[in-house]
Every structure is written in structure tokens, then in C-alpha cells.
Chain A
């Protein structure tokens, strides 16, 4: 037993770190460090830089651009991206629909879509959730009715993240109304420029426009954009969701935030004029998160080691812990950053995100701290809410 990384893994981490240091555009790094979201261009440019290097889609089959890295190297790669901080690959293409097409798509679909996902020529978004569905994903009401060599799609999707930039959307649609809940669902790829699609932004509590509603009104979708078999979509969705949970602990992101918390709490002053970090109460709050994060990191290592031993496919029950604890830690770090900002968290200046020439109210970094905190409440809701994770643990692990 040896919990340290091997020399080879350490060298690999350094290689990734060096590559990011040399190739990540400075303005992108600065934007992320100051707590802003990456812009569309930040994400696209960085993905193309990675693609040129051959690192765009490490976990895909090698035939389609995968690197053949084992789970540990994949984890190191993602952690380095998160802690740089560099934009993470657009999950909807790289982690979600890409692997589904590679696994279940036709040869024609693979050739048509996979290289364009790897190079982010196509921006994908996700059409799973529907109004009223919440965590009960299988209650899909959007319908697709076969009409010759097309499907006619009607219905509504919601919580579609960054749909405003999207060229394509992958959807769960109901193709058999008579079948039982899970078994009448199909997995359809839809061009966002299709007539009959309208997008409406949802403004979230942080004031951001990150998610959208998508309406389908008699949208004609060529039948060759069905993935796999009709009515088997739920299987593909489960495959997709099990991939989604792997990176969900976002340990690198929390590590980077903790670094900033330590830095800022040393430079910002408490009411008595001494640095915040010298307030034992605050120092202990930081220490508590640090310990939580270390424990989670080792739990993540255990998941990776099990995956390496057993091979992929079988989702590790420990991954529910990654979601639960990972989301709580992310949320806690945003709380602490806001607490450091203190009164300067009050000012709401959304226009500054577009690069205003007006000086900020309070320190530059503090302006977004409350928005980031508000926004982070989502992480215990999406990806299977934390209550769903507890259900999974109770049923799949404890047998209750």
C-alpha cells in the first residue's frame, strides 16, 4: 500500500502543469482566477489548443482521439485543469454526448460528430430535464413521432446550460407512450437551428444567464440522428450519467478556491485590524474545509484505484460520496470567500463582467463573491440531487 503517486504519475502531472502554464492564454487564466465564468471564446480556444496537443478527449476510445490514459492520469489531468485554473472542457460534448456516440452511435454518426466535438466546432447542450421532472428524469413528456424518415418533436426542455451558444442538443424524447416509464424513451440528436426551436433564458439567483428553456414545436429531425435503437434511450442516459458522476467531486476547483481563501484571509483585515486568518474562529473554518477536502481526495483515489482494478463500466458506489461531499465542500468554499469579502459582497455590478472602465466598489475580487455563492447552491441540486445520492447509498450500498 502506498498512497503516494508514482514517479511516473508525478512526472505526468508536471508535464500537464507545464503545458498549461505555457499554453493557457493569460487573459483566460486571469478571468477565471478572479472568479468570473470563462467566456465562450475562452472555452473554444482552449479546447482547440488541447486538441492540437492530442489532449482534447483523453477518456474517449483511442480511435476517436482518446489518449489511453488510465483513471489516475485522467484524474490528474482534470485536477490540473481545475486548479490552474483553466476552462474545463465543455462537459456536454466531451463528457456526455461524445462517449454515448462513441459507444452506441452508428459509424456515420461517429465520423460526423466526434471530431467536431473534440475540436469544439459544434457546441452541444443537454436536453434531459423537463419542467416538473426534477430529479425524476425518466418522466419525459417531450414526444418524438416517426414520420417517414423524420421524427416530429414536440415539448419542452429546461435547465439547458449554455444553450444560448449551442449548435446541437441531445435529447431524451418519448417514442412509445404505451411503454412503461423508462422503456419508451429514445436518445435524439437535434440541430439547434431547426425550425420550431425557441430558446428562452432563465435568469438564476446570481443574476446570471447560464440556463435556458428550450421549446420544440413540430421540429423535424432526420431519423438518422437517433442514437442506437429506438426506445433504448434510458440505457444510454444511464451510461451518460455514470460518466457524469466521475468528475463531479471537482476537487481541483475546491483546491484552487482554498488557495485563494488562504491568500485573501491573510491580506484582508478583520474588524480589529488584524488579518482575518489570525482570528482563530475563521482559521478553524478554513481548517475544517481543508480536512474535508483531504478526506474526499483520498476517497476519490480509492474510487480510481477500484476502477483501475475492476475495469470501467461498473459504477463504484463510493462515487455517490464524491457527489455529496464534493458539492458540500464547493458550497462551503464559496461561503468562506463571501465571508472574507464581508460588506464588499453587497455591491451588485453585473456590467463589470463585460469589462467596465468604472472602478469596482470594494476590492476587485470581492464583487463576485456573493454571486458565486448564490450560484453554487446549484451543485447540490444538479447531477442527481444530494437527496437522490442518499437514496442511492441507502438502496445500492446499504440494501435498505
Chain B
């Protein structure tokens, strides 16, 4: 048992943190958000230069062969600065699926992903599904040597700027069956794909995407109806683990901002941090932060577990802790800041909003608590 990082991992963390410290303070972030398409392509190129976009891909695919620990370090650093760029959809979701795709697809797409010239996303969620991962109504049928896609996908992260989409669709079975789901790689500009991009509450982008009679050649099949769901599940769990780390970065930052505010803001002639009522609330935030950090480490450790039931239970447990901590820390940070916390001009509210969105993504706290409660076995 050890929590030590290897020399390479330390280096990775330091270089990511240094880049963001230089180029991603709160004012710079506002600028990045003004860029087309709602985040900074210049920053994205710097991420590529630093190798951040190559982390999870194998060395033979041109990547760095990193695992959950490396992704955790980057996600935490990005969470601390509330970066807007589509790292989760491109590298962790789209990339996570593509790196397990047949060789021809990896060869065609990964070079661009790693170079920062190709953006990906996962078009999976549907309006009716809420948090049920296997709820896929989008249909796909085989027509000669092409698949034909029909359906509507919702809340596709950074879907408006993606070059290629990993799309989940049902080849057979009932709407919520785990079997029968296939994963296809679809060019975002293919005929029959209509994208409607919009802003999300946390300053990022998402898209509603319609697929109407979209013809996809057979060699774009990533996973067939027997393996599609398991792959989707594995990558979703990896994404939740990374999201937990991102949340820890954000919670750590927002807690730091709050403590700083308590030390400097004066009322009744003294710093408000001298009031015990506020001290105890800040202490509880700290406890929640450290418990969340522990569970983010747990999620990282379990993200690569092969046994899906065991992995899922652990990931859900982590998401519950993150969700509870995020809600308490976020709300308390606003409360302790008082009026200024309610304004767009203070950073604290932006962290609060991102944390709230993280809570609601990939299954909210109740969803994951139910998953832990319904399953057995030691955590």
C-alpha cells in the first residue's frame, strides 16, 4: 500500500499544473470562454504539445500508455482551474472507447486525437433514459455493407465541435436491454447528422444531435451487440473516476478560496474567520474534501478492475461520496462568501456550478446510492 507517485507521474502533474497556473487563472478563463467554439483551441494545442492528449493511448498507437492514475492527476489539475476544453469527451470518453476499437479505426483516428487536430465525443444519452446506461432507443440496421442509424441523442458533451462521434445504437432487443447495443464511429459531418449546440450551466458546451438515415460503412463498427454494453460501461466507469478527480480539484480550490475569504473579509471590525460558527463550517468542508479525495483515489484504483460488478460498485460508492461532498462544499462556499458569492464576477460561483453539474452527470447521488444498496459484497 502506498500513495507515492512515480517520477514520471510527478513530472506529469507538475507540468500540467504549471501550464494551467500560467495560462488559466480566472481572468484568462473568461477569455478562453469567449473563443470559438466556447473554449480555447490555442490551449488545446498546448495540451497536445505537453502530451496530455496522448495519456491513455498505447505506445504502439502513438500514446503514452498511461492509466487511471495519470488521468486522475490531469483531471484534478483541470478541475482546480475549471478548464473548459473538451478533455472528458475527447480523451476519456471518445478516446477511451476508440483505444479499444479495431486496429484500422485506431490507425485512422488516434493520430489526430493525440495531435489535437481531431475532437471526439460520445453520443449516447437519450431524452428518455435518465441515468439508465442501457436505455438506448436509437436504432441501427444493416443495409448491405452499411449500417443505417436513426435516433436522437441528447447532451452530447462538446458535441457541437466534435469531428467524430462514437454513437450507441440498438441493433436488436428491447429498449433497456444490455445486449443488442452497438458502438459506431460516425463522422460528425455525415449526411443526416443534425447538430444543435448550446451552452451548459458550467460554461461548457453540449449538443442535441439527430441521426436520420445516416449511412455508416461497416468498417466503422467499434463493438458489436454482444460486447457493446460492456465496453460502454467500462469507459463510463473510467469517466466517472476522472470526474471524481476533477471534482476533488474543484473542491480543493473552492475550499481554499473560502478559507482565504474568511481570513480577509472583515465584519464588526474582525476577520469573519475568527467566528467559531464559521470556523466549524469551514472545518466540516475540509472533512468532506478529504473524504472525497480518499474516494477519488479509490475510484482511480478500481477504474481498471476487470470484474464489472465489483468495479461498478466501487465507482458508484465514489460518486456518492463526491456528490455529497460537492453539494455541501459548494453550498457552504457560497454561504460563507455571502453576497459576493452570488455574483458572476467571483470565481466561487463558477466552481459551485461546475460541481453541481458533476453531481448530475453519469448518474446522480441517488442513482449511485441505489446501485450500492442493491448490490452486495465488500467495497
CA of A329 to CA of B283, assembled, Å: 18
- Report yes or no: A283 in contact with B374, Cβ–Cβ below 8 A: yes
Most chain B beta-carbon neighbours within 10 Å: one of A288, A389, A390, A394: A394
CA of A254 to CA of B278, assembled, Å: 30
CA of A294 to CA of B320, assembled, Å: 12
Binary B-proximity of A1-26 (CB < 8 A = 1, otherwise 0): 11111100100000000000000000
**Option from A3, A290, A299 in Cβ contact (under 8 Å) with B290:** A299
**Option from B262, B276, B294, B374 in Cβ contact (under 8 Å) with A298:** B294
Binary A-proximity of B368-379 (CB < 8 A = 1, otherwise 0): 011011101001
Binary A-proximity of B26-41 (CB < 8 A = 1, otherwise 0): 0000000000000000
- Report yes or no: B280 in contact with A321, Cβ–Cβ below 8 A: no
- Report yes or no: A5 in contact with B1, Cβ–Cβ below 8 A: yes
- Whether, in the assembled complex, A287 has its beta carbon less than 8 Å from a beta carbon of chain B, the answer is yes
**Option from A280, A291, A318, A399 in Cβ contact (under 8 Å) with B259:** A399
Minimum Cβ distance to chain A for residue B324 (Å): 8
| Stretch in B3-11, B158-166, B217-225 touching the partner | B3-11
Most chain B beta-carbon neighbours within 10 Å: one of A4, A9, A298: A298
Identify the closest chain A residue to B256 (Cβ): A398
Q: Which of A69-90 contact B (CB under 8 A)?
A: 72
Binary B-proximity of A291-317 (CB < 8 A = 1, otherwise 0): 110111011011011000000000000
Binary B-proximity of A238-264 (CB < 8 A = 1, otherwise 0): 000000000000000000000000100
- Report yes or no: B373 in contact with A2, Cβ–Cβ below 8 A: no
Identify the closest chain B residue to A286 (Cβ): B373
Residues of A within 8 A of B321 (CB): 291-292, 295
- Report yes or no: A400 in contact with B263, Cβ–Cβ below 8 A: yes
CA of A325 to CA of B292, assembled, Å: 13
Minimum Cβ distance to chain A for residue B77 (Å): 16
CA of A257 to CA of B282, assembled, Å: 31
- Whether, in the assembled complex, B279 has its beta carbon less than 8 Å from a beta carbon of chain A, the answer is yes
Identify the closest chain B residue to A76 (Cβ): B1
- Report yes or no: B372 in contact with A290, Cβ–Cβ below 8 A: yes
**Option from A305, A325, A390 in Cβ contact (under 8 Å) with B279:** A390
Residues of B within 8 A of A262 (CB): 376
| Stretch in B55-63, B206-214, B295-303 touching the partner | B295-303
CA of A9 to CA of B372, assembled, Å: 28
- Whether, in the assembled complex, B110 has its beta carbon less than 8 Å from a beta carbon of chain A, the answer is no
Say whether, besides A290-B379, A391-B279, A305 and B1 are in contact (CB < 8 Å).
yes
- Whether, in the assembled complex, A397 has its beta carbon less than 8 Å from a beta carbon of chain B, the answer is yes
Residues of B within 8 A of A291 (CB): 295, 317, 320-321, 369, 372, 379
- Whether, in the assembled complex, A324 has its beta carbon less than 8 Å from a beta carbon of chain B, the answer is yes
Which secondary structure characterizes the binding site on chain A?
Answer: helix
Binary A-proximity of B113-145 (CB < 8 A = 1, otherwise 0): 000000000000000000000000000000000
Q: Which of B338-379 contact A (CB under 8 A)?
A: 369-370, 372-374, 376, 379
- Whether, in the assembled complex, A284 has its beta carbon less than 8 Å from a beta carbon of chain B, the answer is yes
- Whether, in the assembled complex, A32 has its beta carbon less than 8 Å from a beta carbon of chain B, the answer is no
Residues of A within 8 A of B274 (CB): 400
- Whether, in the assembled complex, B284 has its beta carbon less than 8 Å from a beta carbon of chain A, the answer is yes
- Report yes or no: B291 in contact with A325, Cβ–Cβ below 8 A: yes
**Option from A3, A286, A318, A399 in Cβ contact (under 8 Å) with B301:** A3
Identify the closest chain A residue to B275 (Cβ): A400
- Whether, in the assembled complex, B307 has its beta carbon less than 8 Å from a beta carbon of chain A, the answer is no
Minimum Cβ distance to chain A for residue B130 (Å): 17
- Whether, in the assembled complex, A235 has its beta carbon less than 8 Å from a beta carbon of chain B, the answer is no
- Whether, in the assembled complex, B287 has its beta carbon less than 8 Å from a beta carbon of chain A, the answer is yes
- Report yes or no: B373 in contact with A287, Cβ–Cβ below 8 A: yes
- Whether, in the assembled complex, B193 has its beta carbon less than 8 Å from a beta carbon of chain A, the answer is no
Binary B-proximity of A336-366 (CB < 8 A = 1, otherwise 0): 0000000000000000000000000000000
Say whether, besides A302-B3, A325-B291, A390-B279, A3 and B297 are in contact (CB < 8 Å).
yes
Minimum Cβ distance to chain B for residue A83 (Å): 12
- Whether, in the assembled complex, A43 has its beta carbon less than 8 Å from a beta carbon of chain B, the answer is no
Identify the closest chain A residue to B294 (Cβ): A298
CA of A227 to CA of B6, assembled, Å: 46
**Option from A2, A295, A391, A398 in Cβ contact (under 8 Å) with B286:** A398
Residues of B within 8 A of A302 (CB): 3, 294
- Whether, in the assembled complex, B230 has its beta carbon less than 8 Å from a beta carbon of chain A, the answer is no
Say whether, besides A296-B291, A394-B280, A287 and B1 are in contact (CB < 8 Å).
no
CA of A164 to CA of B64, assembled, Å: 66
- Whether, in the assembled complex, A387 has its beta carbon less than 8 Å from a beta carbon of chain B, the answer is yes
Minimum Cβ distance to chain B for residue A298 (Å): 4
**Option from A1, A288, A298, A400 in Cβ contact (under 8 Å) with B295:** A298
Residues of A within 8 A of B298 (CB): 3, 294-295, 298
- Report yes or no: A2 in contact with B317, Cβ–Cβ below 8 A: no
CA of A165 to CA of B78, assembled, Å: 58
CA of A193 to CA of B340, assembled, Å: 65
- Report yes or no: B279 in contact with A295, Cβ–Cβ below 8 A: no
Most chain A beta-carbon neighbours within 10 Å: one of B1, B5, B6, B295: B1
- Whether, in the assembled complex, A199 has its beta carbon less than 8 Å from a beta carbon of chain B, the answer is no
- Report yes or no: A397 in contact with B286, Cβ–Cβ below 8 A: yes
Residues of A within 8 A of B3 (CB): 1, 3, 301-302, 305
Residues of A within 8 A of B291 (CB): 292, 295-296, 299, 321, 325
Say whether, besides A1-B2, A1-B4, A294 and B282 are in contact (CB < 8 Å).
no
**Option from B263, B292, B317 in Cβ contact (under 8 Å) with A399:** B263
- Whether, in the assembled complex, B12 has its beta carbon less than 8 Å from a beta carbon of chain A, the answer is no
**Option from A9, A387, A390, A393 in Cβ contact (under 8 Å) with B1:** A9
**Option from B1, B376, B379 in Cβ contact (under 8 Å) with A72:** B1
CA of A9 to CA of B373, assembled, Å: 30
7 of the cross-chain contacts (CB-CB < 8 Å) are: A284-B373, A291-B320, A305-B2, A321-B286, A325-B287, A389-B283, A397-B286
For the A-B complex with A288-B320, A288-B369, A321-B287 known, give 5 more contacts whose Cβ atoms are closer than 8 Å: A1-B2, A280-B374, A296-B294, A298-B295, A390-B283
- Lowest 10 CB-CB distances: which A-B pairs, in order? A298-B294, A394-B279, A393-B283, A287-B373, A283-B373, A390-B283, A287-B372, A400-B273, A295-B291, A294-B379
